[in-house]
Each structure stands twice: as structure tokens, then as C-alpha cells.
């Protein structure tokens, strides 16, 4: 481990991680057991490049995010693109958010890509992930790189890759991830990153890309008459969303929000939240306090790279954050009605799409309006590829309302769509809560929940999934299990993965899967009922049973 650490030090261009690792090596050489354990954690293996790219804690060593790992990733991506090109230089556009070292990793990538003969284009400043996803298509790039860890803990950063051309700016899927990973490994095995060619001959995109994203996103839903005087609150969760949201809201004609001042500017330390994720307990407390102060009609929150959006509404018991499924079904119904008004306008059979852990209520909407419905594996790399998709979502607050503009989840365009729904309801003296009630009357009462355990050792998750396979539960509470689907061996060409799905006698559903981005095992719960009270009671009982099973 000490030899590996010294070899790493010899190529590391970052003075901070060099200093960090130097101290660790010196302690290990003196026999410090804690330092030796830390070295083993950093140098046993390396962060694996997959369909989600790279993501991990910042620090020195191949099991951390740092300039060495990013340099290897950029050079490996360049080799992959050059090898598959027709002889012309491929183009890659690079974006970054406000996390620690995002700008450094982006510039390193631009220099290494340019040094490898790639036309590298760096976005002009820190911008949301959806702007990068848009830029890949808008600029006709062969690939895109976004340096972000989205809503992960403050210590993390990441490296996400998109493909242009036939992939239309979507995130990579298998087997492309394995091919890029092999190319990255080849770079890592080939020697020091100091030997990789660099060039400052990369381009910096002008604001025309940003302006066109703003224009096309504002067109998602120009402000209707009911928008005048609307009171709402916005938080960027210490991320990069506000500049773009402000421009889009202005262009679409909506009144400006009251912002959560403490969270509006980018800050990679995320000082007011433990986890910069609107789904986490307490993350939206400052938003609620601001909303109370101005008597707001609703709250809109983006995560730090603005590819997700959360909505909260007032109730007699305080503020209620809508679930990802609540928002997904509202936006799905919005899209289905739009298709019904313009039948035949889309290529192929129009469809709604969601991840298989999202609410089956979207299927009910699709049937109600005569659309196709696709359930995919989790992640927008799969949802965005659903045939004929006019709207797609996943329950983790990700929504794709404008697939002709962005082929990825987009928390800014989704926010504009929600503003439109709220304004239209407002013109009739109604609210978003009323729209949810209307939809339940139309398709039935669907309720969803989630139970998860966070672990320090991911082996715990592997063991738990193996136990569920070996000894699957026959009941959840008092309700019998009627069907078990192990999607590790999918049926009829359906989606496959490390997922277990249980169908219950009362029509409820429980799905277990490991998180793709965090050390969590998750149980997704979906129920239906003839009334809201029945649905809530079934969900509460199911949550209790799932908690007991995972305890």
C-alpha cells in the first residue's frame, strides 16, 4: 500500500491531495494502524466507471475522486471516441457545477481531451446538468461530460458521460460503459498521467447555448393568465440552479419567486443541510420557513445540479412535500392530455415511461388516454430511450417533460411545467392539491412509500438481497404474496437487474433494490384503494412490514 501510495504521489498534480496523502504515508510508515487502514481503503481497487460514470468522496487514491482519476477518465474517454470515429476529430462538451473541484476537474478534462485530438468545448461557467445535456444535442457533439455528484453528500463529486449522435444526448448504457471503462483502465495501466498530452486549445462555449436552452425551456409552458400575482418560493439547495431558473421564469412570463437566501448561491460545502437532497429530512425546512413568512402557495426546490425538482404545498398540518410519484402522475396526466389534443403529432406511438419502481398509476393514465406505457430499469439512461416517449419520470424526483430538447431528467423544465399547472388551477380558484384529488378521482387512489437502510459496508446489501432470494417472504403483514419476480433473470424480454418484485393479494407491490448512487438498500411500496383512507392504511401497514423485514 505504501509503494502504491508513493507511485500515486509521483503523478498527482494537486497540492492538496499530495499533502493529504504524504501525511498518511508518513503515519503508515511509523506503524499507525489507523493510517494503514485508511491507505487500504483508498488503494484496494479503484472507483469503477459504469453507466452512472464515476462518483465518490474527494481525496487521494484510486478509490476517491481526484485529479489523477479524472485525468485517466478523460484520456480514456478520448481514446474510446477517437477509436470509434470515422477519422474526423470527435467533439466533447464539458460542464460542471459548484461542488468542490468541479471546475478543476472540468478544465483538466478539457485540456486532456484537446491534447488527445478531440474538439473539446467547455461551458462558460458553472451551470446545471440539464444545460450540459442540452448542449450535447444542440452542438451536435459526440459526447458530453458533466462534473457533478448531483444530490450526494458534500464530500462527494462525480463524472457523468453522455453520448450524442444516435444516442441523442442520453446517458451511456451497457456495453458502452464497459468499453469506456476498459479504455480508462488502459490509460491507468500505461503509466503516469504526467505523460499524457495536454493542450489549452479547447474552446469555451459562448452564451448562445445557455440562451437557447432558456428559450426552449420557457416554451414548455408560457405563463397563463392565472400566473399573475402568484406567490411561490424557490431554493437552489446551495447549487447552480438559480441563474438558469431565473432566466427561464422571466422568459416564460411568471412572477419571480421569493428565494431562500441562505441556499440560493452555489456553495460546495452545503452549510445548511446534511445532505443536499430535497428528499432528506430537514433539507427543505428553510424553504418552509420562507414560505410561511410570505404566505406562499407552493415551494419549488432543485437539487444542487438542478436535474431534480421537489414541490411542497401547504396543508392544515404544515407543509407537505409531494412525493416523486405525486409530481410524476400530475406531469404524466399533463403530457397525456397534450397528446390527446394533438393526436398524431409525435413520431411512432406516443408513450409515457417510468422506472419500474415508480408508481403504476402512470400506466393507468396511459390506458385512460390511449397511450403506450413503458416500465424501464431505474435511471434516465433507460427511461429516455423508451419508444415514442412524450413524458418520463422516476420516483426520485426526476422528470423529463421536453424530450425533444433534453434527453435526461431536467428539474428546470419540470419546474416550469408545474408552474403552469399551478397557474391554470389558480385561475379557477383551485390549487395543486385539488389537481391531485381530481387525478385520483380519474384513475384511482394510488399511494407510494419507501423504506431504506443506509449502510457503511455495501456487503450488507448484497447479503440482504441474497437472503430475500433464498427465503422470500410469503406475507407482508397480513397480506399474502401472490407473485415473486426476480429481475436478475427477467421474463419476456423485460428489464433486468438486481431487483426483487413482490405482488400482493390486495394489489399492492413491494420492490427491493440496491441504490445505484448511495450505499442504501431500498424497498419501494405501492398500494391502491377505493378511498384515500384505505390507500393510506394499506401503505402504513406495508411500511411497517417492510421495516420489520429490513431490520
Q: Catalogue the active-site residues.
A: 150
Instruction: Report DSSP letters for 533-550, one per residue.
Output: HHHHHHHHHHHHHHHHHH
Q: What is the three-class DSSP state of 399?
A: strand
Nearest to 123 by CA among 197, 56, 199, 211: 211
Are the C-beta atoms of 278 and 301 separated by less than 8 Å? yes
3 state SS of 407: coil
Tell me the residue ranges of DSSP E strands in 367-444.
Answer: 372-376, 389-394, 398-400
Closest to 75 measured CA to CA, from 103, 113, 43: 113
Instruction: Kindly give, in sequence order, each residue whose CB lies less than 8 Å from that of residue 121, ignoring residues fewer than 6 positions away.
Output: 91, 92, 93, 94, 135, 139, 141, 202, 203, 204, 205
Question: Cell digits for 302?
Answer: 432543485
How many beta carbons lie within 10 A of that of residue 48, not counting itself? 13
Is residue 240 a contact partner of residue 131, using CB atoms and an 8 Å limit?
A: no
Residues 527 and 276: their CA atoms lie apart, in Å, by: 29
82's CB contacts (< 8 A; 6+ apart) are 89, 90, 116, 117, 118
Strands laid side by side in the 389-394 sheet: 372-376, 351-355, 389-394, 398-400
Cell numbers 401503505: residue? 539
Is 298 within 8 Å of 310 (Cβ atoms)? no
Taking the C-alpha atoms of residue 60 and residue 262, their distance in angstroms, rounded to an integer, is 31
Q: What is the CA angle 54-59-64, rounded to 5?
A: 30
Judge if the upstream peptide bond of residue 175 is cis by omega within 30 degrees of 0.
yes
Q: How far apart are CA 248 and CA 228, in angstroms?
A: 16
**Is 224 in a helix, a strand, or coil?**
coil
Is residue 104 packed enough to be buried (19+ CB in 10 Å), middle (13-18) or exposed (0-12)? middle
Residue in the structure block whose three cell numbers are 384513475: 443
Angle CA 77–80–83, to nearest 5: 145
- Between CA 236 and CA 272 the distance in angstroms is 12
Amino acid at each position: 500500500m505504501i509503494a502504491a501510495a508513493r507511485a500515486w504521489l509521483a503523478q498527482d498534480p494537486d497540492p492538496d491531495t499530495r499533502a493529504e496523502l504524504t501525511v498518511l504515508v508518513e503515519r503508515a510508515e511509523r506503524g499507525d494502524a489507523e493510517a494503514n487502514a485508511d491507505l487500504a481503503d483508498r488503494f484496494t481497487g479503484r472507483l469503477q466507471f459504469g453507466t452512472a460514470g464515476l462518483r465518490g468522496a474527494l481525496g487521494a487514491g484510486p478509490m476517491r475522486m481526484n485529479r489523477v482519476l479524472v485525468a485517466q477518465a478523460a484520456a480514456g474517454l478520448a481514446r474510446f471516441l477517437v477509436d470509434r470515429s470515422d477519422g474526423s476529430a470527435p467533439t466533447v462538451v464539458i460542464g460542471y457545477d459548484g461542488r468542490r473541484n468541479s471546475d478543476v476537474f472540468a478544465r483538466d478534462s478539457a485540456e486532456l481531451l484537446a491534447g488527445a485530438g478531440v474538439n473539446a468545448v467547455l461551458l462558460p461557467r458553472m451551470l446545471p446538468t440539464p444545460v450540459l445535456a442540452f448542449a450535447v444535442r444542440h452542438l451536435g457533439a459526440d459526447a458530453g461530460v458533466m462534473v457533478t455528484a448531483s444530490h450526494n453528500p458534500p464530500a462527494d463529486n462525480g463524472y457523468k458521460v453522455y453520448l450524442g449522435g444516435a444516442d441523442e444526448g442520453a446517458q451511456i448504457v451497457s456495453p458502452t460503459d464497459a468499453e469506456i471503462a476498459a479504455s480508462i483502465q488502459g490509460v491507468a495501466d500505461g503509466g503516469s498521467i504526467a505523460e499524457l498530452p495536454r493542450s489549452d486549445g479547447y474552446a469555451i462555449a459562448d452564451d448562445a447555448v445557455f440562451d437557447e436552452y432558456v428559450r426552449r425551456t420557457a416554451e414548455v409552458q408560457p405563463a397563463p393568465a392565472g400566473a399573475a400575482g402568484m406567490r411561490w418560493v424557490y431554493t437552489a439547495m446551495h447549487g447552480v440552479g438559480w441563474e438558469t431558473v431565473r432566466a427561464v421564469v422571466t422568459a416564460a412570463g411568471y412572477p419571480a419567486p421569493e428565494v431562500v437566501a441562505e441556499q440560493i448561491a452555489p456553495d460546495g460545502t452545503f452549510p445548511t443541510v446534511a445532505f443536499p437532497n430535497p428528499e432528506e429530512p430537514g433539507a427543505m425546512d428553510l424553504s418552509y420557513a420562507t414560505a410561511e413568512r410570505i404566505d406562499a402557495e407552493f415551494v419549488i426546490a432543485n437539487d444542487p445540479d438542478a436535474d431534480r425538482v421537489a414541490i411542497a404545498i401547504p396543508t392544515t398540518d404544515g407543509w407537505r412535500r409531494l412525493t416523486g410519484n405525486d409530481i410524476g402522475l400530475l406531469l404524466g396526466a399533463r403530457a397525456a392530455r397534450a397528446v390527446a389534443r394533438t393526436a398524431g403529432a409525435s413520431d411512432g406511438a406516443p408513450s409515457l415511461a417510468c422506472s419500474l419502481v415508480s408508481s403504476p398509476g402512470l400506466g393507468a393514465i396511459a390506458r385512460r388516454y390511449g397511450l403506450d406505457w413503458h416500465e424501464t430499469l431505474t435511471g434516465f439512461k433507460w427511461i429516455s430511450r423508451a419508444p415514442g416517449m412524450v413524458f418520463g419520470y422516476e420516483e426520485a424526483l426526476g422528470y423529463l417533460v421536453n424530450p425533444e430538447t433534453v434527453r435526461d431528467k431536467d428539474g428546470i423544465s419540470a419546474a416550469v411545467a408545474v408552474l403552469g399547472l399551478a397557474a391554470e388551477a389558480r385561475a379557477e380558484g383551485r390549487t395543486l392539491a385539488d389537481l391531485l384529488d381530481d387525478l385520483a378521482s380519474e384513475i384511482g387512489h394510488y399511494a407510494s412509500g419507501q423504506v431504506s437502510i443506509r449502510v457503511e459496508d455495501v456487503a450488507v446489501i448484497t447479503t440482504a438481497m441474497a437472503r430475500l432470494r433464498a427465503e422470500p417472504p410469503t406475507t407482508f403483514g397480513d397480506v399474502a404474496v401472490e407473485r415473486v419476480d426476480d429481475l436478475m433473470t427477467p421474463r419476456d424480454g423485460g428489464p433486468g437487474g438486481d431487483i426483487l418484485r413482490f405482488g400482493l393479494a390486495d394489489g399492492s407491490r413491494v420492490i427491493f433494490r440496491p441504490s445505484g448512487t448511495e450505499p442504501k438498500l431500498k424497498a419501494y411500496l405501492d398500494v391502491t384503494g377505493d378511498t384515500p383512507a384505505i390507500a393510506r392504511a394499506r401503505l402504513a401497514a406495508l411500511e411497517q412490514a417492510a421495516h420489520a423485514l429490513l431490520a
